[in-house]
Chain A
Amino acid sequence: MNQGMKVITLGMALMSSVAFAGNGTTAEHIEAATAAYKQVAKDTGYQWTVTVKTIKAAQKALDAGDDQSARQLAHEAMALVEATRTQAKVESDNWKMRLPK
């Protein structure tokens, strides 16, 4: 299960990094991930601790002058936000499957 989730997360990381590869500064990418995280939390109530950690790590890397790592981490955070949104969407109905028969 865990492994499956990782694969999904990874796939999304690749997609989203392609999506905003070239545009904007790294700081803007971190900001975008933060905003997206807050939006999903507001829309769905779903929040992952790992996303907060990744955003913090991105900011830290940026502050340390490691633009490349910071950018990569920002994209990872964005992918985690997307995965959270997917989870919320899937679960809005799927939870009923787990009721005892």
Chain B
Amino acid sequence: MDRRSVLKIAGAVSAATATVFAMPRMAFAAYSDAIFKQKAGADALQNAYGANATTPSDQVKLKAPDIAENGAVVPVSVETDMEAESIAILITENPSPMAITADIPAGTKAMVKTRCRMGKTTQVTAVVKSGGKLYTASKEVKVTIGGCGG
């Protein structure tokens, strides 16, 4: 869960949230509008991870096609050899860029594969949270429309 929203909830519902606050490490990825309805990727990251400063790293391995076969179903995978706590995928040109956040507990491989929608040609960014810092890899995915198949 994102720490900021935990703080907000903690402020609003003081006593009950104390237990939640006491064990933030146990928290799981959880949906929140503050992350997934954000129009800007940086704000989404801020709300998800309490920080939006990122460092590009070749240790973050992002796999996505150069040209999407179909914008409705684009396979994307993120993997890293770093010790990761969380992985996120941002699709810059989508109405709200944050597509997925995934928590990686100890013992789970720092990897996630899924299929995403992309409305148009866009930058796709994989974010890995490791040692409290955010590392990224990005690439452009071209989305074409039209022809016989699409």
A contacting B, Cβ–Cβ less than 8 Å: no
